[in-house]
Structure 1
Amino acid sequence: MQLPTFGEVFLTTDDVQGGLENLKLFKGKLISSLCGGCRKLFVIEEGIDNQGIISTLHSPEHDEYDKTFSQDSNNLQSFDFKGSIKTIVTGKKHTVFLSDQGDIYSYGYGEYGALGHGGIIELTIPKKIIRISKIDTIACGEYHTLALSNGDLFAWGRGFEGQLGIRKDVETAASPMFLSYFYKNRIKMIACGAYHSLAVDQQGILYGWGEARFGQLGTGRKVSEQLPSRIDFQIEQPMNQSALRVGKFLAQETNFKVVSISGGYGHSAAVTSSGELYTWGFNQRGQLGNGDKDKKSSYYPKRLMQDISGIQLPGFSKVMCGYYTTYAIDLKGGLWSWGGGNLGHQNDKLVDLPRKIVLEDRKFTNMYANGQAAAFFASLRTISMKPNHGPSTGGTIISLIGTGFCDTGRQSARFKLGDIQTEVGCEYDSLTDSFRCTTPNFEEFIDKYPVECVVEVTLDGNVYVECEQKFLIYSSKIVISSLYPKCASIQGGTTLIININIDDLTASYMKHLNVGFQPRNKKKEDKSAMKQSTNKPLNPLDLSINDPELDKENWMCVEGFYEKGKISCTIPNVSQLQTDSLNFNVDISINGQQFTGNPMVFRFYDIQIKELQPDNVMSEGGASVKIIGDGFFDTTNKRVIFKTMFGERLIEIMWDKQDRFYSFVAPPLSWLLGGQQPTSELLNAVKASGVTALLTLSGIEWIPIGTFYYIDPEVLRLGPFNFDEKLPEEQKQQFIHQEEQEIDPLKDLQGAELQKKKDELQKVLEAEEQEINYFFKKAGQYISVYGENLVNTESLLVQFIFNGNMAVNQKAIFKNKSKLIVQIPELELPTGLHDVGIEITFNGTSFSHSGKVFKYMAFDKSLNEQQKLKLEDEEMKKLKKTQPKKK
Structure 2
Amino acid sequence: MEEEERVWSWGAGTEGQLGNCSLEDEVSPQLIRQPPLSVSNISSLACGAAHVIAITSSGKVLSWGRGSSGQLGHGEFVNNSLYPKPVTSLDPYFITNVSAGWSHSAFVSDTGCLFTCGDASFGQLGHGDYTSRCSPAKVSSFDNRRVAKVACGMRHSLVLLEDCSSNQVYGFGSGKRGQLGISKDRVKSINLPQVVSGFEDAETVDIAANGDHSAAISVDGNLYIWGRGFKGYEDANSPRRLNSTSSFTKVALGWNHALTLTAAGEVYMIGGNHLGVLSNHWSTSSAKQLHDLREANMEKVPGLDDTKVVDIAAGAEHSILVTDNGEIKTWGWGEHGQLGLGDPCDRARPVTVNLGYDMDDVSSIRVYCGSGFTFALTKP
Q: TM-score, normalised by structure 1?
A: 0.28
- Tell me the equivalent position of 1:650: none
- Tell me the equivalent position of 2:134: 226
Q: Deviation of residue 230 (structure 1)?
A: 1.0
| Deviation >4 Å, runs of 4+ | 406-409
- Tell me the equivalent position of 1:286: 178
- Tell me the equivalent position of 2:5: 102
Name the CA distance, whole Å, in 2 between partners of 1:198 and 1:339: 20
- Tell me the equivalent position of 1:217: 125
Q: Deviation of residue 170 (structure 1)?
A: 3.9
Q: Secondary structure at the match of 1:112?
A: coil
Name the CA distance, whole Å, in 1 between partners of 2:99 and 2:48: 9
Q: Secondary structure at the match of 1:113?
A: coil
- Tell me the equivalent position of 1:609: none
Partner deviation per Cα, 1:54-92 (whole Å, 9 max, x = no partner):
xxxxxxxxxxxxxxxxxxxxxxxxxxxxxxxxxxxxxxx
- Tell me the equivalent position of 1:117: 20
- Tell me the equivalent position of 1:139: 46
Q: Secondary structure at the match of 2:122?
A: coil
Q: Secondary structure at the match of 2:42?
A: coil
1:347 partnered with 2:254? no
- Tell me the equivalent position of 2:64: 156
- Call closer, same or farther: CA 1:120–1:160 in 2, change over 3 Å: closer
- Tell me the equivalent position of 1:375: 259
- Tell me the equivalent position of 2:242: 357
- Tell me the equivalent position of 1:262: 151
Name the CA distance, whole Å, in 1 between partners of 2:243 and 2:101: 28
- Call closer, same or farther: CA 1:283–1:164 in 2, change over 3 Å: same
1:272 partnered with 2:164? no
Amino acid corresponding to residue 48 of structure 2 in structure 1 = G
- Call closer, same or farther: CA 1:210–1:169 in 2, change over 3 Å: closer
1:172 partnered with 2:80? yes
Q: Deviation of residue 106 (structure 1)?
A: 1.8
| Contact 2:181–2:197 (8 Å) recurs in 1 | no
Amino acid corresponding to residue 166 of structure 1 in structure 2 = H
- Call closer, same or farther: CA 1:375–1:119 in 2, change over 3 Å: closer
Q: Secondary structure at the match of 1:136?
A: strand
Amino acid corresponding to residue 251 of structure 1 in structure 2 = D
Q: Deviation of residue 129 (structure 1)?
A: 1.6
Q: Deviation of residue 331 (structure 1)?
A: 2.1
Partner deviation per Cα, 1:496-553 (whole Å, 9 max, x = no partner):
xxxxxxxxxxxxxxxxxxxxxxxxxxxxxxxxxxxxxxxxxxxxxxxxxxxxxxxxxx
| Contact 1:144–1:164 (8 Å) recurs in 2 | yes
Q: Deviation of residue 292 (structure 1)?
A: 4.7
| Contact 1:106–1:129 (8 Å) recurs in 2 | yes
| Contact 2:157–2:209 (8 Å) recurs in 1 | yes
Name the CA distance, whole Å, in 2 between partners of 1:300 and 1:313: 24
Name the CA distance, whole Å, in 2 between partners of 1:128 and 1:281: 35
- Tell me the equivalent position of 1:748: none
- Call closer, same or farther: CA 1:225–1:114 in 2, change over 3 Å: same
Q: Deviation of residue 121 (structure 1)?
A: 2.1
Amino acid corresponding to residue 201 of structure 1 in structure 2 = S
Name the CA distance, whole Å, in 1 between partners of 2:206 and 2:225: 12
Partner deviation per Cα, 1:414-440 (whole Å, 9 max, x = no partner):
xxxxxxxxxxxxxxxxxxxxxxxxxxx
Q: Secondary structure at the match of 1:219?
A: coil
Name the CA distance, whole Å, in 2 between partners of 1:286 and 1:375: 20
Name the CA distance, whole Å, in 2 between partners of 1:272 and 1:297: 21
- Tell me the equivalent position of 1:502: none
Q: Secondary structure at the match of 2:15?
A: helix
| Contact 1:206–1:258 (8 Å) recurs in 2 | yes
1:317 partnered with 2:201? no
Which runs of no fewer than 5 residues in structure 2 stay unpaired? 266-299, 308-380
Q: Secondary structure at the match of 2:62?
A: strand
Name the CA distance, whole Å, in 2 between partners of 1:152 and 1:296: 35
Higher helix share: 1
Name the CA distance, whole Å, in 2 between partners of 1:321 and 1:119: 29
Counting only pairs closer than 5 Å after superposition, residues 282-681 of structure 1 correspond to structure 2 as: 282-306=174-198, 312-342=200-230, 347-360=232-245, 362-380=246-264
Q: Deviation of residue 108 (structure 1)?
A: 2.8
- Tell me the equivalent position of 1:420: none
1:201 partnered with 2:109? yes
Name the CA distance, whole Å, in 1 between partners of 2:213 and 2:128: 22
| Contact 2:68–2:77 (8 Å) recurs in 1 | no
Task: State the percentage of identical aligned residues.
Answer: 27
Name the CA distance, whole Å, in 2 between partners of 1:159 and 1:408: 43
| Contact 2:60–2:95 (8 Å) recurs in 1 | yes
- Tell me the equivalent position of 1:191: 99
| Contact 1:274–1:315 (8 Å) recurs in 2 | no
Partner deviation per Cα, 1:162-203 (whole Å, 9 max, x = no partner):
100012254421110000011121211111111111111111
Name the CA distance, whole Å, in 1 between partners of 2:107 and 2:305: 42
Amino acid corresponding to residue 241 of structure 2 in structure 1 = K
| Contact 1:268–1:280 (8 Å) recurs in 2 | yes
| Contact 1:168–1:227 (8 Å) recurs in 2 | yes
Amino acid corresponding to residue 181 of structure 1 in structure 2 = S
Partner deviation per Cα, 1:691-731 (whole Å, 9 max, x = no partner):
xxxxxxxxxxxxxxxxxxxxxxxxxxxxxxxxxxxxxxxxx
Partner deviation per Cα, 1:402-455 (whole Å, 9 max, x = no partner):
xx9x9959xxxxxxxxxxxxxxxxxxxxxxxxxxxxxxxxxxxxxxxxxxxxxx
Name the CA distance, whole Å, in 1 between partners of 2:131 and 2:172: 15
Q: Deviation of residue 369 (structure 1)?
A: 0.6
Q: Deviation of residue 370 (structure 1)?
A: 1.4
The alignment covers a number of residue pairs equal to 260
Amino acid corresponding to residue 42 of structure 2 in structure 1 = I
Q: Deviation of residue 363 (structure 1)?
A: 2.1
| Contact 2:66–2:78 (8 Å) recurs in 1 | no
Name the CA distance, whole Å, in 2 between partners of 1:354 and 1:106: 34
Q: Deviation of residue 229 (structure 1)?
A: 1.0
Partner deviation per Cα, 1:574-600 (whole Å, 9 max, x = no partner):
xxxxxxxxxxxxxxxxxxxxxxxxxxx
| Contact 1:304–1:313 (8 Å) recurs in 2 | no
- Tell me the equivalent position of 2:326: none
| Contact 2:70–2:104 (8 Å) recurs in 1 | yes
Q: Deviation of residue 306 (structure 1)?
A: 3.2
Name the CA distance, whole Å, in 2 between partners of 1:185 and 1:376: 33
Name the CA distance, whole Å, in 2 between partners of 1:182 and 1:356: 37
Q: Deviation of residue 296 (structure 1)?
A: 2.4
- Tell me the equivalent position of 1:582: none
Name the CA distance, whole Å, in 1 between partners of 2:225 and 2:77: 39
| Contact 1:364–1:376 (8 Å) recurs in 2 | yes
Name the CA distance, whole Å, in 2 between partners of 1:351 and 1:157: 33
| Contact 1:212–1:224 (8 Å) recurs in 2 | yes
Which runs of no fewer than 5 residues in structure 1 stay unpaired? 1-99, 234-249, 382-403, 410-887
Q: Deviation of residue 365 (structure 1)?
A: 1.3
Q: TM-score, normalised by structure 2?
A: 0.64
Q: Deviation of residue 313 (structure 1)?
A: 4.3
Aligned-residue CA RMSD (Å)? 2.4
Name the CA distance, whole Å, in 2 between partners of 1:353 and 1:161: 30
Name the CA distance, whole Å, in 2 between partners of 1:408 and 1:326: 31
- Tell me the equivalent position of 1:4: none
Larger radius of gyration: 1
Amino acid corresponding to residue 105 of structure 2 in structure 1 = S
- Call closer, same or farther: CA 1:305–1:313 in 2, change over 3 Å: farther
Q: Deviation of residue 294 (structure 1)?
A: 4.0
